[in-house]
Chain A
């Protein structure tokens, strides 16, 4: 391999770039920075394009942050000051993924220092009725891991008794014991929890409930490992990472910063389609218990929403819609959109109170009649 030449000034520039993008949340390890400099050396470099290619290959920015990476590259090497990372065009639903940096551990401390000073609007929203909710959430957090629906794992584990005979280990034992099997070893497939996917509608019409829902989602993420949370508004945003921060206030603050479309319009259909068209996200839905927290008030045509819900249902283990409107005793699924999606729902429940919703989520593993049967019965 070619050793890096002694180019103090040039090398400093590239190391500086690695440090620069690290400041913007790209995880760059030391060895990656070294590989970057080696790569640049290997390629010549004959042009700026070579440097860019080397940076892309060795620093490996996540694909969904390429535009941001390019902007940083230009601003660093060309001195362009306008770093605009905004996607243009509102036609396509924008997908935002919070993947990339793990900042757990560091984040809560940071915000604990300043939490007395500034409380975001979101936090204040969430403060109402804190005591009751706190208890409900605490109970929810304790009960959730054992209440999630289960499936059999694909991977067998060793077992002392029960299950099928583990031929591989048995033969091994025979070899070791010279033709004798002291005790037959077994293997069996244990049960594991299914994934829980929470989709939160954060449009203007849901304003009153968003804070509660986020708190509930935070508890769920804290309680179980296989939980994914997205917000749906005019855009789709994955907020699971932000909710992994243990401290509730810090976590909500980070979520608030991550989501750009608070209290906007509702585009459930297009956002869900966007969710399904990202294979990585769609895989979260497969075999999962999906809880959609939305009022189902779709602006405009509901055909796309119906298609999306149908597709989601086809993937899911159980698809539940919790709507705050159902808190009203006179509620019945009468709107065209709700009527259209009702056959694809496993549950249509009241989402107006946090304890009620938490209670419902603890019953996801138990069988229940489909939403259609339940709501047909009501006059």
Chain B
């Protein structure tokens, strides 16, 4: 590792500072979890409701350690060909045609398409793996990943086993739509990212939004915190809160007075008709309380 990359990982506090410098605010728990994952050389498993910044956290870590982020988006039905490697059959065929009578090694590097897991193994010091929304994949894929995460090697029957020179950094995220295998959880450093409190959320909004006044950010954070307490189908995430602050600011500059601007921009915060009509009666009271 380069000295520059070592520096932020001397303590959770320096890590949090480093992350804040690249516009990601991590609380103590998250900073500790990231710190331990890096230092213990274990994968980091982040769980949380949708929109609390799990993927964003992974991106920030990659940026902080100046590594390339290799992202593997999971979905139902994902398999080894999408995650590990695949042969480029079309090119293999062409090569056989062109070769004619000569011998050609069709299992050469140029016919191998490296998928995310293999890409990370090939250059573990400069790349970081993000396995996004692992809960969407099937149990079979989880087992495959388990094998990868315990040995950090990939076996290609035609080529042999590819080992990693060092342990790559891996971040997994899950929305908890289903429970992950205990064996997978056990191997990871775990952190549950909760919704931030109002003060932190206001800070995040200030950091992320374009030009939002501090009072607006604080009002938005307070209102969003209260809205999340309601039994909504889709509670607003942090990104939505930032968008809402942005949208309301734009509308206000266009001539809408304050509470009205928030109300009109509600579409960027709540994206479900049922939720909107459910919130409507209380919205004025919520806005009033949060702007006080």
Q: Are B40 and A39 in contact (CB under 8 A)?
A: yes
Interface stretch (choices B18-26, B42-50, B125-133, B259-267): B42-50
- B231→A277 contact, CB < 8 A: yes
| Bound form: Cα–Cα A172–B106 in Å | 11
Q: Which one of A58, A66, A179, A311 contacts B189 once the chains associate, using CB atoms below 8 Å?
A: A58
Scoring A residues 268 to 288 as 1 if CB is less than 8 Å from chain B, else 0, what string do you get? 000001101101101100000
Determine the chain A residues whose CB is within 8 A of the CB of B233 once the complex forms: 276-277, 282, 311
- Inter-chain CA distance A178–B267, complex, in Å, is 59
- Please tell me if A29 contacts chain B, counting CB pairs below 8 Å: yes
Interface: A53 (CB within 8 A): yes
Q: A2 to chain B: which residues have CB within 8 Å?
A: 39
User: How many Å lie between the Cα of A359 and that of B86 in the bound state?
Assistant: 49
User: Which candidate, A11-19, A30-38, A197-205, is the interface stretch facing chain B?
Assistant: A30-38
Report the nearest A residue to B88, measured CB to CB. Answer: A171
Give chain B nearest CB distance to A96 CB in angstroms: 15
List residues of chain A with CB within 8 A of the CB of B138: 155
The docked-state distance in angstroms from the alpha carbon of A57 to that of B39 is 13
Contact of B77 with A54 in the complex, beta carbons under 8 Å: no
User: Of B39, B93, B192, which one neighbours A171 at CB under 8 angstroms?
Assistant: B93
Q: Is the CB of B39 within 8 A of A311?
A: no
| Chain A contacts with B in 158-215, Cβ cutoff 8 A | 168, 171-172, 174-175, 178-179
Across the two chains, which residue of chain A brings its CB closest to B12? A43
Instruction: Mark out the residues of chain A between 105 and 164 whose CB falls within 8 Å of any chain B CB in the assembled complex.
Output: 154-156
Q: Is the interface of B mostly helix, strand, loop or mixed?
A: mixed
Does residue A99 face the partner (Cβ distance < 8 Å to B)?
yes
Alpha-carbon separation in the docked complex, A63 to B235 (Å): 18
Q: Are B93 and A307 within 8 A (Cβ)?
A: no
A-B contact count (CB 8 A): 119
Chain B residues within an 8 Å CB radius of A283: 177-178
Q: Mark B6-24, 1 if CB is under 8 A from A, else 0.
A: 0000011000000000000
Interface string of B263-276 (1 = CB under 8 A from A): 00000000000100
Residues facing B in A6-55 (CB within 8 A) are 27, 29, 31-32, 35, 38-39, 42-43, 49-50, 53-54
Within 8 Å CB of B28, what residues of A? 49, 53
User: B41 contacts the other chain (Cβ, under 8 Å)?
Assistant: yes
Does A29 contact B186, Cβ atoms closer than 8 Å? yes
Q: Is A265 an interface residue (CB 8 A)?
A: no
Q: How far is the CB of A277 from chain B (nearest CB, A)?
A: 4
Please give the distance in Å from B107's CB to the nearest CB on chain A.
Answer: 10
Q: Is B192's CB under 8 angstroms from A1's CB?
A: no
- Take A279-B175, A280-B176, A311-B274 as given contacts and tell me if A43 and B32 are in contact as well, using a CB distance cutoff of 8 Å: yes
- Interface core residue of B50, B77, B81, B235 (most chain A CB under 10 Å): B77
Greatest chain A CB density within 10 A among B33, B47, B87, B92 is at B33
Q: Which of B33, B41, B79 lies in contact with A57, CB distance below 8 A?
A: B33
Asked if A60 meets B190 with Cβ closer than 8 Å, knowing A276-B231, A276-B233, the reply is yes
Assess the B231–A57 pair: CB atoms within 8 A. Answer: no
Q: List residues of chain B with CB within 8 A of the CB of A311.
A: 233, 274
Decide yes or no whether A102 CB sits under 8 A from chain B: yes
CA distance A162 to B152 in the complex (A): 38
CB of A362 closer than 8 Å to a CB of B: no
Q: Which residues of B contact A155 (CB under 8 A)?
A: 76-77, 79, 138
On whether the beta carbons of A66 and B192 are closer than 8 Å, the reply is yes
Cβ-defined contact, A53 with B76, below 8 A: no
A371 at the interface (CB under 8 A from B): no
Complex: how many Å from CA A2 to CA B10? 12
Query: Quick check: is A56 within 8 A (CB to CB) of the other chain?
Result: yes
Q: Does B29 contact A (CB under 8 A)?
A: yes
A101, closest chain B residue (CB): B182
Residue of chain A at shortest CB distance from B45:
A60
How far apart are B235's CB and chain A's nearest CB, in angstroms?
Answer: 8
> In the complex, what distance in Å separates the CA atom of A178 from the CA atom of B95?
12
Q: Considering the chains assembled together, what is the distance between the CA atoms of A39 and B188 in angstroms?
A: 13
How near does chain B come to A59, taking the closest CB pair, in angstroms? 8
Chain B residue at minimum C-beta to C-beta distance from A29: B186
A253 CA to B188 CA, complexed, in Å: 34
Are B40 and A35 interface neighbours, CB within 8 A?
Answer: yes
B189 touches A57 (CB 8 A): yes
Knowing A32-B186, A175-B96, the reply to whether A273 touches B231 (Cβ < 8 A) is yes
Q: Which of B45, B50, B76, B190 has the most CB of A within 10 A?
A: B190
Q: Which residues of A contact B47 (CB under 8 A)?
A: 63
In the complex formed, the residue of A with least CB distance to B38 is A42
Residues of A within 8 A of B186 (CB): 27, 29, 31-32, 60
User: Cα distance A31–B28 when bound, in Å?
Assistant: 24
Q: Is B191 an interface residue (CB 8 A)?
A: yes
Which residues on A sit within 8 Å (CB–CB) of B86?
168
Closest A residue to B138 using CB positions: A155
Q: Does B179 contact A (CB under 8 A)?
A: yes
Q: Please, which residues of chain A bring their CB within 8 A of the CB of B235?
A: 277
Instruction: Report B-chain residues with C-beta under 8 Å of the C-beta of A174.
Output: 89, 93
Q: Which of A54, A171, A282 is B32 in contact with, Cβ under 8 Å? A: A54
Neighbouring B residues of A42 by C-beta, 8 Å: 35-36, 39-40
Bound CA–CA A39/B12 (angstroms): 11
Residues on A with beta carbons closer than 8 Å to the beta carbon of B192: 63, 66
* Contact string against B for A residues 49-91, beta-carbon threshold 8 Å, 1 for contact and 0 otherwise: 1100110111110010010000000000000000000000000
Q: Can you name 18 A-B pairs with beta carbons within 8 Å? A: A2-B39, A27-B182, A27-B186, A32-B186, A35-B42, A43-B35, A54-B32, A58-B189, A60-B189, A60-B190, A63-B47, A155-B79, A172-B87, A175-B92, A179-B93, A277-B233, A283-B178, A311-B274
The 8 A-B residue pairs with the shortest CB-CB distance in the complex, in nearest-first order: A60-B190, A171-B89, A155-B77, A53-B32, A57-B33, A283-B177, A273-B231, A277-B231
Q: A277-B232, A280-B178 are in contact. List 20 more A-B contacts (CB 8 A).
A: A1-B39, A2-B39, A27-B182, A32-B186, A42-B35, A42-B36, A43-B12, A50-B32, A53-B28, A53-B32, A56-B32, A58-B190, A59-B190, A154-B76, A171-B90, A174-B89, A273-B231, A277-B233, A279-B49, A280-B179
